[in-house]
A and B are shown apart, each in its own frame.
Chain A
Amino acid sequence: MSNLDTLESELLAAIENAGSESALEEVRVAALGKKGSISEQMKTLGKMTPEERQVMGPALNGLKAKITDAVAARKDVLAEAALEARLASETVDVTLPMRPSPTDTGRIHPVSQVIDELTAIFADMGFSIAEGPDIETDELNFTALNFPEGHPAREMHDTFFFNEKDDGERLLLRTHTSPVQIRTMRTEEPPIRVIIPGRTYRCDSDQTHTPMFHQVEGLVIDKESHLGHLKWILEEFCKAFFEVDDIKMRLRPSFFPFTEPSMEIDIQCDRSGGEIKIGQGDDWLEILGCGMVHPNVIRNCGLDPDVYQGFAWGMGIDRIAMLKYGMPDLRAFFDADVRWIQHYGFRPLDLPTLFGGLSS
């Protein structure tokens, strides 16, 4: 018996000391292989007396089972260690910085984004979007809009002209989006509700004026819309656009040849800090011009001003973008400086909607 005990402790020690799966296999073969130490002992059972066999049989079988289990257990341990070693060797530096994705570096220009914002708001009020050409006739840019020939009001618009043609016609770059009012009224049946965003041009250039800029015009023509509706639309627009709960507004009489009565609209703002805050404070900020469409203009579009009526307004897209998003200089809008676009631009998937917020 003591031989078996010795064998057992020798084998268990060998299993424990096996440092690899191959070493363990050697130990297993040396014990349990055909000529292994336990197998050899098993062979001696045949020559034993029944009494001896009764003792030695179970003892040897027990030893065999014990060693088999020990080998299996050791095998698991070694496999686990090997996996860990492999994983450790595969470690990388996960702090390495990634390249930004294109959806992260791409930008939408503020003018486009603000036009989308305007569209979202006015679409909700039943407006559609109209457009017209940048190169206009004098008739549509001025005459049909009730600017008399030679009137000083024309000089308020520093107009870019093209060269006179043989037939005496002189085209120009539209000085406002208002010619599209005429185009719309001449082709569409009232009721009309449109907004007209687009590029406009005046030969003027300084800190706050660029020879090209963007305007958005609004036009409503039907049989009952009056200044009260205009006021409501602009109040609602300002609240929605500037994303404030309330905003004070005042109407000031003014003059535009194509509206009568004409007015300018100021909104409440606070100039006490470095930048203008809309919808708070005690200062006023002029943001747009508007009025009831002049009877002459309605008539010029083939409609009867005693039957049809309505209003129009116009404002600078660049300007309201500057007010909302804090750009200090208009000229930078047209410089394509990537630092500016990265800073003031919008991510490609940030589509302004009323249900998801214009800028949130």
Chain B
Amino acid sequence: MKFTLSWLKDYLDTDASLEDILDRLNMIGLEVEEVTNRADRLKPFKIAKVLEAEQHPNADRLRVLKVDTGDGEPVQVVCGAPNARAGLVGVLGKPGDYVPGLDVTLSVGKIRDVESFGMMCSERELELSDEHDGIIDLPDDAPVGVNYAEWAGLDEPVIEIGLTPNRPDCTGVYGIARDLAAAGLGKLKERSHEQIRGAYPCPVDVTFDFGDTKPMCKAFGLRMVKGVKNGPSPQWLQDRLVAIGLRPINILVDITNYITFDQGRPLHVFDADKVHGNLVVRRGKTGEKIDGLNAKSYDVDDTICVIADDNGVESLGGILGGEPSGCTEETVNVLIESALWDEDDIAATGRKLGVNTDARYRFERGVDPDYMMPGLEYATRMVLDLCGGEPSEAIRTGDIPDSTNIIDFPYSEIKRLSGIDLSPAEANVTLKALGFWISGSGETVKVAAPSWRPDIEGKADLVEEVTRIVGLDRVPSTPLPRLGTVAKTVLTPSQIRRNKARRALAARGFNESVTWSFIPKDHAVLFGGGNDTLALANPISPEMSDMRPSLLAGLFMAAQRNADRGYGDVALFEIGQVFESDAPEGQKIVAAGVRRGTAKMSGSGRHWSGTSAAVDVFDAKADAEAALAAIGAPVDKLQVFTDAPDTFHPGRSGCLKLGPKNTLAVFGEVHPRILQKMDIEGPLVAFEIHLDALPQPKAKGGRSKGSLNASDLMPVRRDFAFLVDSAVTADKILKAARGADKSLIEDTTLFDIYEGAGVPEGQKSVAIDVVLQPRKKTLTDEEIDAVAKKVIANVEKATGGTLRG
């Protein structure tokens, strides 16, 4: 919503400075977005008079002007405007001046061999209007040499406020003035519109025809004015419209635009001679069309409210007038419409047709129903004043709905919600200044909102009205009482897990990333997603079309982007949501990471101490286990399976499971086909941990860690090497060895694997270290040998291998 300071002062009697006004606007909830002054940009431009205008020697359409700047010698200017002539008083820009409409700084030019020392400007060049048919042509008595903007009254602040959707009353300057006056910034100059007596009955009738469907128009006022003389609006009216960015058209149309901004009351004018028969307000019919005043054409249907005559649709009610019945400078007889439309229907039609007009903006927020007829009187008065003519009686179809809503208002509500101590008297003054009606006395009164405040619903709204006007700075800062205890754990177990996994992964050299929750459909499909229920209906781009089924797609692409920037050795992780379905429980929390190139935990790239090798499956496994350990998973009890999803290399990937069905993590080298399909390069390894899949530990009584059971006796170590088939897994050997004596064997470590010379083809030598921890007494050689024999027997039995001699 834009307006000028002088326009505001039409309705606000105030001595307040601009700064105070802006301040107060902000403090009462009418947020100032911008204040501009066109004179600031037009400072250098002065009024100048053309003394001579001669034909350019080398160009038919150019003239060479001698221009009096009011300051010494006349200057020579080459000009192409058709209206350039001797005696014209216009506006001159000189070399060095910035022309806003052209975005150019003038310099001395040579046009077809004739020097030019400036430019006579058009209105468009000075951003005053779209007019560019000729240069500015001022009255003969305009004072040469004087600053043009000041002389033309452009030296005035234009204020733009950002209106919240609850304040339709402030879509007009009058409403803003009322708010400021209530806030003590001056006195509201009350509007009053005399009821104009019609000289004859309105010759055009209006009927509603909605059949048994919901009416889309509440009420409709109409009046004819015969014998008007239309034409360009007077300068003051044009200036105001131009100042707020509107294009003056002709008086009749300008009046409707003016009142839209002056009172927040949209109107429409028909050229009565182009209206055929009476007007019917009804639903549109499929197949009907309207050519709008905005030079666009719209198809209507039965969800759209139209005003029609015998010829068909003439107007989109409350949104846009039609071009065929619009008023032009030739209009002699005019029909003025002031109507009341259904807010929701206006919003729906506007969305459906994609039309944004000043009328729609106001009607969908809710215009003052009680001002429908006064608005018609105001428009009639302006038409009569500016165009003359003879008015008919005003007619009204439909009843103005009663908007009265009486609210029981206990004054205590102000303190209850805002904490502000305010006397009932002060509350009353404020509410009354805003136009509220108050009845009764005592602790609870009855309050009714004025017809222009459809947003007022109940007590809380009244508290807002009072507090915003008396000032929110009166809200007393009040400490929130402590809950009487030391702060308890505030994070959920799931949040705690995320935090632990996050810090653990970062401590392994990973860089935490946050990537988009939506990914391209083809990526979603690659990672097991792409379901229609998880595809956005209105994605911002095809790259962000589907909710991610996995964090890996985003991380792979991120790793590649870094590589493309020259950083190929990166370790990235993310902890975030993935989507298995559109239900709340289908949203799962996953921690995932990728290592690319040589980004191992010990470091990447070349180094004197040893150059890093390419990342491999074991890097990913170590990461997954470390993060699982950090969240409290029993890593030594997890089973390793080799059935990882097919996004991974089938021979270089695995799953960590707690029992055969509960997969806590997957890890591995990325399948080459994925690299190819995503058009990215490896080496790339990754892991994913399903943080919520780990069952919460059972609550134990107390936090005791139990006693430490450390033996005073030295542990005994024994090494064994076995020859086994190449396919035998380490897991199997270690498990068999451990099973030899569960109480005595404390640890088993696999410290060497060898294939090659000395080992038969198809076999490997695996060396393990078994640690025996005696508890009660030192072991005898016989006891140790007995355990060793059991280890050998167990491993040989489990693997079919033999002890290597």
Q: Chain A residues in contact with chain B, CB under 8 A?
A: 96, 99-100, 102-103, 105-109, 111-112, 116, 119, 122-129, 131-135, 149-153, 155-156, 160-165, 170-171, 173, 191, 193, 199, 201, 203-205, 211-212, 220, 225-229, 231-233, 235, 250-255, 260-264, 292, 294-296, 305, 309, 333-339, 341-342, 345, 347-349, 351
Contacts and interface: CB of A to CB of B under 8 A. Distances in A.
B478 A102 contact: no
A163 B545 CA distance: 12
B460 A342 contact: no
Nearest to A153: B165
Given A161-B538, A336-B561, A108 B502 contact: yes
A20 to B, nearest CB: 36
Given A116-B499, A233-B480, A338 B567 contact: yes
Given A152-B365, A229-B478, A263-B472, A129 B495 contact: yes
Given A228-B418, A253-B29, A253-B468, A336 B515 contact: yes
Nearest to B589: A131
B517 A100 contact: no
Nearest to B166: A255
Contacts of A333: 514
Given A102-B601, A119-B491, A345-B511, A295 B480 contact: no
B475 interface: yes
Nearest to B28: A253
B23 to A, nearest CB: 10
A295 B536 contact: no
Contact of A226 (B419, B458, B532, B601): B419
Contact of A309 (B417, B480, B487, B602): B417
A226 B517 CA distance: 36
Contact of B27 (A108, A109, A162, A252): A252
Nearest to A105: B509
Nearest to A354: B487
Contact of B475 (A109, A211, A228): A228
A205 B538 CA distance: 14
B29 A99 contact: no
A69 B482 CA distance: 84
B72 interface: no
A161 B537 contact: yes
Interface stretch (B209-217, B579-587, B706-714, B767-775): B579-587
Contact of A135 (B459, B510, B587): B587
Interface string B565-578: 10100101001110
B536 A109 contact: no
B602 A341 contact: no
Contact of A150 (B348, B491, B538): B348
B642 interface: no
Interface in B406-423: 415-420
22 contacts: A123-B490, A124-B487, A126-B482, A134-B547, A135-B547, A160-B539, A162-B537, A163-B532, A165-B533, A199-B576, A204-B540, A226-B417, A227-B417, A232-B480, A260-B460, A263-B472, A334-B515, A336-B572, A337-B562, A341-B511, A349-B503, A351-B503
A194 to B, nearest CB: 9
Contacts of A204: 540
A220 B480 contact: yes
Nearest to A191: B483
Given A129-B490, A134-B517, A295-B459, A152 B364 contact: yes
A348 B572 CA distance: 14
Contacts of B503: 108, 348-349, 351
Given A126-B487, A161-B536, A261-B464, A108 B480 contact: no
B458 to A, nearest CB: 6
Interface stretch (B603-611, B726-734, B755-763): B603-611
Contacts of B513: 109, 336, 341
A184 B219 CA distance: 44
A121 to B, nearest CB: 11
B417 A134 contact: no
Given A108-B506, A135-B547, A336-B515, A128 B31 contact: no
B508 interface: yes
Interface string B446-474: 00000000000111110110011000110
A227 B347 contact: no
Interface residues of B, number: 99
B512 A341 contact: yes
Contacts of A203: 538-540
Contacts of A337: 561-562, 565
Nearest to A210: B516
Given A152-B365, A255-B29, A336-B562, A260 B584 contact: no
B516 A212 contact: yes
A292 B418 CA distance: 8
A212 B517 contact: yes
A253 B587 contact: no
A163 B533 CA distance: 7
Contacts of B502: 108, 112
Contact of B505 (A106, A151, A156, A294): A106
Interface-centre pick from A116, A126, A129, A233 (highest chain B CB count, 10 A) = A126
B29 A227 contact: no
Interface string B19-31: 0000000111101
Chain A facing B: main interface SS: mixed
A91 B137 CA distance: 93
A355 B122 CA distance: 67
A100 B478 contact: no
Contacts of A125: 480, 482
Contacts of B624: none
A252 B26 contact: yes
Contact of B477 (A103, A105, A231, A253): A231
B721 interface: no
Nearest to A261: B464
B558 interface: yes
Contacts of B29: 252-255, 263
Given A150-B347, A260-B464, A106 B507 contact: yes
A162 B535 contact: yes
B595 to A, nearest CB: 12
B487 A199 contact: no
B464 A252 contact: no
A232 B537 contact: no
Most chain B CB within 10 A, of A127, A156, A163, A170, is at A163
Contacts of B572: 336, 338
Given A150-B344, A231-B476, 19 more contacts: A99-B609, A106-B507, A106-B509, A126-B487, A128-B488, A131-B495, A150-B347, A162-B536, A171-B582, A212-B516, A225-B480, A226-B478, A253-B464, A254-B29, A296-B457, A336-B515, A342-B511, A348-B503, A348-B504
Contacts of B461: 260
A161 B479 CA distance: 41
Nearest to B419: A228
A153 B344 CA distance: 12
A77 B732 CA distance: 60
B532 A128 contact: no
Given A119-B490, A227-B475, A261 B538 contact: no
Given A134-B587, A162-B533, A252-B31, A335 B490 contact: no
A292 B475 contact: no
B534 interface: yes
Interface string B341-382: 000100110010000000000001100000000000000000
B168 to A, nearest CB: 10
Contact of B540 (A135, A191, A211, A227): A211
A254 B31 contact: yes
B164 A255 contact: yes
Contacts of B517: 134, 173, 199, 201, 212
